[in-house]
Chain A
């Protein structure tokens, strides 16, 4: 069982839709992450939140909008996506943003398909 919970597991959306991905952890971790993973590729970092503040945005297009309402929750708001945005979106958390001694804990991801 994963300690990082992501919902929904699967999402199909049209290019004009607005949807949100949700992530929750109750391990007391203070850093949370969004990654995008295409098939047969490693995860690519999108955003990092540390103590509920956005600390890293890896030049992600504005159609992806992260939000961290509190230390346990992380959302990713989606709007006007393109078919090439179809991927597995992974949420992760770590005790601190310093990942040397604070490994990432991943959720099982949301499989997103944009039609």
Chain B
């Protein structure tokens, strides 16, 4: 079946540190991959997406590359800010587009 596995949190980083949040997936066919972010007290916001192998999604300094050979979609940012503190969810949409699967979420706290 389809599933998404994210690294366990919480993650605490100092401002300007490099961020990686690992995400791997299991899926048949060619899923689309997404990163969503949830700030405290809010709903989820789409951060970036990639719809085919080797695509790189990017937004607000965050990047993730769709790696079919390693079934991964790791989220990276070169220099985090306090305002990046949030919960990050990796997600996939299956080949048929019928279902959306979320990872368990990774909580990030950035300290000044």
Contacts and interface: CB of A to CB of B under 8 A. Distances in A.
B43 A99 contact: no
Given A41-B104, A42-B104, A108-B42, A103 B34 contact: yes
B106 to A, nearest CB: 11
A84 interface: no
Contact of B97 (A42, A92, A97, A107): A97
B93 interface: yes
Contacts of A101: 32, 51, 97
Contacts of B98: 97-99
A41 B9 CA distance: 12
Contacts of B105: 40-42
Nearest to B90: A42
Contacts of B89: 42
B43 A4 contact: yes
A9 to B, nearest CB: 9
A42 B43 contact: no
A54 interface: no
Interface string B34-76: 1010000111111001010000000000000000000000000
Contacts of B36: 104, 106
A8 to B, nearest CB: 14
Interface string A74-115: 000000000000000010100001111111111111000000
Contacts of A105: 46
A59 interface: no
A45 B100 CA distance: 8
Nearest to B105: A42
Given A42-B105, A99-B99, A107-B43, 16 more contacts: A4-B43, A40-B107, A42-B89, A90-B44, A97-B97, A97-B98, A98-B96, A99-B97, A103-B34, A104-B46, A105-B46, A106-B36, A106-B44, A106-B45, A108-B41, A109-B42
Interface of A: 2, 4, 6, 40-43, 45, 90, 92, 97-109
7 contacts: A2-B42, A2-B45, A42-B103, A43-B102, A98-B97, A105-B46, A109-B43
